[in-house]
């Protein structure tokens, strides 16, 4: 009986999580592509960008409230998980490593570079603010809410980090093992940030900082 109930709960959560993922591809992607298309057709930034922010808020705010509703992340702290600074140090080290050992850019990276070249203001809002919020909600927040709310064992924490980081990497459409590994490592760092504070906003802040630095490097070193 208990196993049957657990299976039902899992299937319900799987269905709800699928809706969250579907909303990203159907609703959020449509908002981004529609506003970008209007900009490319000559719509003023002073009109298009406020519309982008407004429509994105209509999508993100209900999603954030749903994520927070009746959810408390239980994490048993370890020496690694307890360190607030570890994700920051790892992120800085990884950024330096990427600059010293560059790899072939992914399709996602090429799209971002093209976006920055033609629509820098739109790219700044999307890359630095909107994408980190939505991606962390999808790959870290709702993943924990529906499948990993109780992380009292090292195995569950490890499994959560691996699954969420894999999804994060796949979301960026890597074409090679090296590209997959790059996004996967970033996902691990952001997941550690989430677990150490039990606050998704910390992971979002790390994600924003990473994207801001990448944005600035593309602007000034292009």
Domain boundary assignment for the chain: 2-220
Q: What is the pLDDT of residue 2?
A: 64
Q: Where are the beta strands (DSSP E) in the chain?
A: 74-75, 150-151
Nearest to 71 by CA among 198, 222, 213, 175: 198
- Burial class for 64, CB neighbours closer than 10 Å (0-12, 13-18, 19+): middle
E-assigned strand segments in 38-117? 74-75
Q: What is the pLDDT along the chain (222 residues), one digit of tens a residue?
A: 667 888 899 999 999 999 999 999 999 999 999 999 999 999 999 999 999 999 999 999 999 999 999 999 988 878 777 788 899 999 999 988 888 877 777 788 888 888 988 999 999 999 999 999 999 999 999 999 999 999 888 899 999 999 999 999 999 999 899 999 999 999 999 999 999 999 999 999 999 999 999 999 888 876
């Amino acid at each position: 009986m208990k196993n049957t109930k657990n299976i039902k709960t899992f299937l319900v959560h799987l269905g709800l999580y699928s809706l969250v993922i579907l909303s990203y591809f159907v609703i959020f992607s449509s908002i981004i592509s529609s506003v970008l298309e209007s900009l490319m057709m000559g719509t003023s930034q002073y009109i298009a960008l406020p519309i982008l922010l407004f429509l994105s808020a209509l999508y993100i705010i209900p999603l954030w409230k749903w994520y927070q509703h009746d959810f408390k992340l239980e994490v048993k702290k370890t020496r690694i998980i307890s360190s607030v600074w570890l994700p920051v140090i790892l992120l800085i080290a990884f950024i330096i490593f990427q600059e010293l050992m560059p790899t072939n850019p992914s399709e996602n990276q090429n799209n971002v570079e093209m976006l920055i070249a033609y629509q820098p203001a739109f790219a700044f809002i999307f890359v630095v603010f909107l994408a980190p919020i939505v991606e962390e909600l999808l790959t870290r927040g709702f993943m924990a809410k529906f499948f990993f709310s109780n992380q009292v064992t090292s195995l569950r924490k490890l499994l959560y980090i691996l699954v969420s980081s894999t999804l994060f990497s796949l979301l960026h459409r890597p074409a090679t093992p090296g590209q997959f590994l790059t996004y996967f490592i970033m996902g691990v760092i952001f997941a550690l940030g989430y677990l150490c504070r039990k606050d998704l906003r910390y992971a979002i802040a790390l994600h924003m900082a990473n994207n801001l630095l990448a944005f600035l490097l593309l602007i000034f070193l292009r």
